[in-house]
């Protein structure tokens, strides 16, 4: 199994959970923040249905890589260029988290800028380069990929990661369960 397949399984399970629980997947419409995820148009701030949507043309992370003279972990690059989506709630045996995914092309650019800032901070602190892809319910804790080893780590912002959560992004996503 590859990242795209694992993420597709998770997204399918996520959407199914909402259907099973008879909870609508809704978000406030923002005409200034367009996305293929909206299921209909509406007036600004009205609640509308949404769903994750596969990127028809996978986005490139070359701006990020060129800015830092770095090659992003292949699994993480595939992860970020798979879906347009709002953040997705998930849980593991370790706790709750939100997977970060780009909502639209502008959000994808913002994501790259935030990743660049994160790597520059790590370099300034002379720490291993990590790339975040999820946030936890605990303040200042993120879930990241060690860009050199590909391991998924729990990391307190500004500090070296202390806890390995999985040996790869694929194995991490495979252990996730969706939550409302």
Q: pLDDT tens across 71-103, in order?
A: 999 999 999 999 999 999 999 988 999 999 999
Residue 149 belongs to a domain: yes
Total domains present in the chain: 1
pLDDT (0 to 100) of residue 5: 97
Residue 122 belongs to a domain: yes
* Residue 119 clears pLDDT 90, i.e. is over it: yes
Q: What percentage of the chain carries pLDDT values higher than 70?
A: 100
Residue 26 belongs to a domain: no
Residue 5 belongs to a domain: no
Residue 98 belongs to a domain: yes
pLDDT (0 to 100) of residue 131: 97
Residue 45 belongs to a domain: no
Residue 130's domain comprises 55-178
12 or 94: whose pLDDT is higher? Answer: 12
| pTM of this structure | 0.95
What are phi and psi for residue 9, nearest 5 degrees? -65, -45
pLDDT (0 to 100) of residue 139: 86
CA–chain centroid gap for 107, Å, is 12
pLDDT (0 to 100) of residue 70: 95
Long-range contacts of 136-144 (CB under 8 A, 24+ apart): 136/95, 136/96, 136/97, 137/95, 137/96, 137/97, 138/95, 143/97, 143/172
Residue 84 belongs to a domain: yes
> For all residues of the chain together, what is the average pLDDT?
96
Which CATH number covers residue 76? 3.40.1580.20
Alpha helices in 125-168 (DSSP H): none
Segment 96-123 shows an average pLDDT of 97
Residue 158 belongs to a domain: yes
């Amino acid at each position: 199994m590859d990242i795209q397949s694992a993420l597709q399984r998770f997204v399918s399970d996520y959407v199914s959970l909402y259907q099973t629980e008879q909870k609508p997947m809704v978000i406030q419409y923002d005409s200034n923040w367009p996305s293929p995820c909206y299921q209909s148009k509406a007036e600004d701030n009205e609640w509308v249905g949404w769903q994750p949507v596969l990127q028809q043309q996978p986005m490139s992370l070359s701006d990020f890589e060129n800015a830092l003279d770095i090659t992003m972990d292949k699994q993480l690059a595939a992860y970020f260029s798979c879906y347009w989506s709002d953040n997705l709630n998930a849980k593991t045996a370790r706790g709750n988290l939100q997977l970060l995914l780009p909502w639209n092309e502008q959000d994808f650019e913002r994501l790259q800028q935030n990743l660049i800032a994160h790597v520059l901070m790590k370099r300034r602190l002379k720490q291993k380069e990590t790339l975040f892809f999820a946030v936890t319910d605990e303040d200042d804790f993120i879930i990241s990929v060690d860009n050199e080893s590909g391991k998924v780590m729990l990391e307190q912002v500004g500090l070296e990661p202390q806890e390995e959560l999985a040996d790869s992004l694929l194995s991490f996503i495979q252990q996730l369960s969706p939550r409302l």
